[in-house]
Amino acid sequence: MDQQWQKMLAAAKKVQDFRIIGKHMEVGGVAAAVLSESGKIYTGVCVDTACGLGLCAERNALMNMLTQGEARITRVLAIMSNGQNGAPCGACREFIVQLMEQDYQKVEVMLDYKQAKVITMGELTPQWWL
């Protein structure tokens, strides 16, 4: 695996810290890292709430990136609570596609770090808004 993926994995692991915030909220079960076109890595963790108003780790990482003035990504990596990688959920896929509307097909997604399995958002979302 190349150095960028290694750095992204390390960054996501660094912020993944499951904890219960209150009776109806927990955070950090899933962590994500996104690589911006500038080469900077942004991270985020999931925020799970009892009412479903939480936020996925991928979108949290993207919000961090947008807050810092960047708006384009090249890669996405998420670590699930079991330590395995996983693909973005439907809401995250839609967010990424809208963010990268002209080039979303090229955004790489880590599916399995141990097996070096990477696919593109174009493969995950082949016919967006047809």
For the segment 92-106, what is each residue's pLDDT rounded down to a tens digit? 999 999 999 999 999
Q: Is the residue at 44 inside a domain? A: yes
Mean pLDDT over 40-46 rounds to 98
- 129 in a structural domain: no
| 77 phi/psi in degrees, rounded to 5 | -140, 135
Inter-residue contact 28 to 79 (CB < 8 Å) = no
Q: Is 79 inside any structural domain?
A: yes
Q: Which domain holds residue 81?
A: 3-124
In a domain, 130, yes or no: no
Count Cα neighbours of 22 within 13 Å in the Cβ-side half-sphere: 5
Tell me whether residue 25 is in a domain: yes
Parallel, antiparallel or unpaired: strands 19-22 and 117-120: unpaired
Number of domains in the chain: 1
Residue 30 lies in a domain: yes
* Mean pLDDT across the chain: 95
- How much is the average pLDDT of 59-82? 98
Whether 97 and 109 have beta carbons less than 8 Å apart is answered as: no
pTM: predicted TM-score of the whole model, two decimal places: 0.94
Please report where in the chains the tokens 């593109």 appear, as a residue.
Answer: 120
Query: Which CATH number do you get for residue 21?
Result: 3.40.140.10
